[in-house]
Structures are given as structure tokens and as C-alpha cells.
Amino acid sequence: MNHFFITPDQINENKLIITGSDIRHIKTVLRMKVGDEASFSDGISPSLYRGIMTEVNDEGISFDIIYIQDTNHELPSQVYLLQGLPKADKMESIIQKAVELGIYEIIPVKTARSIVRLDEKKAQTKLKRWQNISEAAAKQSKRQTIPIVHNIMNFDEAVRFISQMDIKIIPYELADDFEKTKKAIERIEPGQTIAILIGPEGGFTSQEINFAIEAGINPVTMGKRILRTETAAFVILSWIMYHLEE
């Protein structure tokens, strides 16, 4: 079933009115017709709306609300992914899967070993593309909100951005003691803010790790094997999701 994001002002008693770019998407891409059903989130409440299409015109598409389900598809903690810029289109896959796994916000990070270098124009083009991917993944996984993809930060900015968060995790290939990693995950509690810093291909430099440690971020190991940058994000987010949704 197709899922859409709306604003509260698009809800009028027992009706939903779809406007803007979703009109074209519904008519020409999805080819939905009167009588088809869809689900909706308003980005604020935990309610999931189920509606049936009743009218289509150039100004809007009307759905009658069939029922409202009070549910919550969000994690009970706000998890931020600070991802070192990877090569090629890996960032797109990372964003898509991170949104499916419940990420709250995503911050692309330019580190010392990031190979990708984007000027302002290219960065804004990428950002728009990444935000669209976040929205599509949020619709597919029936999220209540669309995770924001921030402007690219450098490593120092990223560390300052998360300085006041409750839990700060930075996987590092030279860290050891997997028990320490387990404890870092196990002490996460609902309602906390959690930051995860993932390095690009080549990982973090020792200077970056030392800067992180000085800021109160302790490196943890991901296990006995070296993971690719895109794999590391999926693994640790899966651990956190499992822990919070037990």
C-alpha cells in the first residue's frame, strides 16, 4: 500500500486532501484511481491514517478516512548518523537503509580521508537528492517522520554538533574489547539522544580519534572483522534497533 506524508491542515474532519507534487506522483506515476486505498502520516502525531480515494482533479486529490490507527513506527530514542562521505553512490544506499532502520537525522561528514570533494553547487544538488531518498524510504517503511539530511559538516563541526548528546559512539578498527561495545549499546535508554560517527573508506586518522576522545567520545570495536563504511552503519544501527525494540 502506498504511504504519503501530509500536514495537519490537509486533514478536514473525515477527509484528507492531497496537494502539491504528490498529485502528479499519484496520477501519473502510481496511476491510482478512485477507490484505491493509501496510508498517511502527518509528521507530528503517532496516528496512521487509512484513506480511500474519492475524487481527483488538478487542484487536489480527496481521500475519505476509513480509520485512524494509533501506532508508532519510530524508535523511542533519537539516533543520529554522522557518516563520513563515501565514494560513488554509497551514501544513497546508506541513507535509504538508515531510514528503514529508524534513524532520526543524518549528517554527511567530510573527514581527512574522505575522497569525495564537493563544491557548494554540487553539495546542494547531492543534498536535495539525499533528502528525496530519505523521504522515499520513510514512505516505504511507513515512518511517522521524514529524517532530515543535514548539510555536509567537517569532522570538528560534527563533533561539536553531538557534544551534548547522551550517547556518542565512534567505531574504530584499532579499538578492542568487544565487551565495551556491548555495554555501550546496553546502556542506551528510551528518550536518549544517540550519535554514531562512521568513518569513510580508510577510516579515521589518529588525530581525529584523539580529538573525539578529548570531546568525550570513546572508540568501540565492531568485532574481529574490518567492515566497509556502508556495512558498519547498517550493523550498529541494527544493534541499536534490536536493543530499543526488545
- CATH number of the structural domain spanning residue 113: 3.40.1280.10
32-to-2, 14, 29 alpha-carbon distances in Å: 10, 20, 8
> Are residues 111 and 211 both part of a single domain?
yes
> Are residues 129 and 227 both part of a single domain?
yes
pLDDT tens for 181-233 read: 999 999 999 999 999 999 999 899 999 999 999 998 889 999 989 899 999 99
What percent of the chain is predicted at pLDDT more than 70? Answer: 100
Q: Could you give the CA distance from residue 170 to residue 220 in angstroms, rounded to a whole number?
A: 6
Question: What totals of helices (H) and strands (E) does the chain contain, helices first?
Answer: 7, 13
> Are residues 32 and 83 both part of a single domain?
no
Name the strand (E) or helix (H) holding 147.
Answer: none
- CATH number of the structural domain spanning residue 58: 2.40.240.20
Nearest CA-CA partner of 168 in 190, 193, 204: 193
Name the strand (E) or helix (H) holding 32.
Answer: none
Of 51, 70, 89, the last residue of a domain is 70
Of 70, 103, 127, the last residue of a domain is 70
- Phi and psi at 140, nearest 5°, equal -60, -40
The predicted structure's pLDDT at residue 171: 93
Beta bridge partners of 167: 194
The structure's pTM equals 0.80
- First and final C-alpha spacing in the chain: 27
Asked if 171 and 203 count as a contact pair (C-beta separation under 8 A), the reply is no
Number of domains in the chain: 2
> Are residues 65 and 85 both part of a single domain?
no
Of 70, 88, 107, the last residue of a domain is 70
- For residue 155, the enclosing domain spans 78-244
pLDDT at residue 246 tops 70: no
Which grid cell is 112? 581527512
